[in-house]
Amino acid sequence: MKSMRFVPFALTLLAIGPAVAQDLTLVRVNTFPTARSLPFFVGVEKGIFARHGIKLEFEFTESSSAQRAGLAAGKFEVVHSAVDNALAMIEVAKVDVVIVSGGDGGTNEFIVGRNINTFTDIRGKALVTDAPNTAYALQAKKILLRHGLKDGVDYRINAVGAGPFRLKAMLEGGDNAAAIMNLPFSAQTIEAGLKSLGRTIDLLGPYQAGGAFVLRSWAKANPEILERYIAGYVESLRWVLDKANRDEAVSLLMSRRNLSRSLATRSYDLMIEPGFGFNPDARLSVEGFNNVLTLRQEVEGGPTPSPAKYLDMTYYDRAIQRLAR
């Protein structure tokens, strides 16, 4: 496979008249280059964010570490990512961020190499991750602990970054034995002859994977902008989850993510699966979020704090009220 170089991607809402554009508020969003970017593509293509007064500009990140650093530095206003990254910003980096919506269950699967048939076969090899101490890396460590394998003793971490880099590492093989992968990368590995040892929600239970978080200071200073942004995202997500739009959604994934029809179709069908893919209206799963807190405590140590420390759903609630008007 050819070497892969990450190219940052940005998509800005441009298909609007100059008079309208002057009335829009710019919101910069950072997310990962996965199939779950579909609501952003829809929101731009259909003018949904513009109807809510938002000029959306979003870019893809190469890693959760770069994403967290960028949010802390004010390079963008909103992050859509695994919410455990918000916990890491608060508890480790001491940056005051707040989770303002749910998003999805992650569509995560435990993918292993061609010569791996059981969890114990990973012994002595490498677990491929993004950041080694947040989100899906913690899920992988917990799964391996349940099968008697301890990080740094029975396997090593190969922290390569976002999904495209994990895909490249897994396809290269060698000591790269396992990784948590989501769509479309999980489907790509399986098409290439690798295998899944199970969905993480089946292996660990409900998990609030994706969500939106922002600097708390920005949210307090810009409540109406945040509410309008969330309303635009939720409306875009409603379009995605409407099965009547399936063919058009698949075509968008094919064009925007450069996927084959089979990969785009599989990605769409799995992303709209309840509990595994998108949360309807980007609602936060209380049970799933509590499991995020418990997992971080079990793997990283320390007490399990109250969810209220990390959440402020008042912006989300007002956004939903906007959509009901």
Residue 213 pLDDT > 60, yes or no?
A: yes
Q: Average of pLDDT values for 234-260? A: 97
* pLDDT per position as a tens digit, 149-204: 999 999 999 999 888 999 999 999 999 999 999 999 999 999 999 999 999 999 99
The pTM of this model reads 0.89
Residues 6 or more apart whose CB falls under 8 angstroms from that of 47 comprise: 13, 15, 16
Q: What is the pLDDT of residues 257-277, one digit of tens each?
A: 999 999 999 999 999 998 899
Domain extent listing, the chain: 10-104+208-324, 109-204
With tokens 């969810």, the residue in question is 307
Task: Pick the closest to residue 283 from 248, 224, 233, 219 (CA basis).
Answer: 233
Say if CB 55 and CB 28 are below 8 A apart. no
CATH number for region 109-204: 3.40.190.10
Q: What is the pLDDT of residue 318?
A: 98
Domains 10-104+208-324 and 109-204 share a fold: yes
What mean pLDDT comes out for the span 77-102? 95
The pLDDT of residue 301 is above 70: yes
Whether the predicted pLDDT of 210 surpasses 90 = yes
Whether the Cβ atoms of residue 17 and residue 50 lie closer than 8 Å to each other = no
Fold of 10-104+208-324: D-Maltodextrin-Binding Protein; domain 2 (3.40.190)
Q: What is the C-alpha to C-alpha distance for residues 313 and 85, in angstroms, rounded to an integer?
A: 18
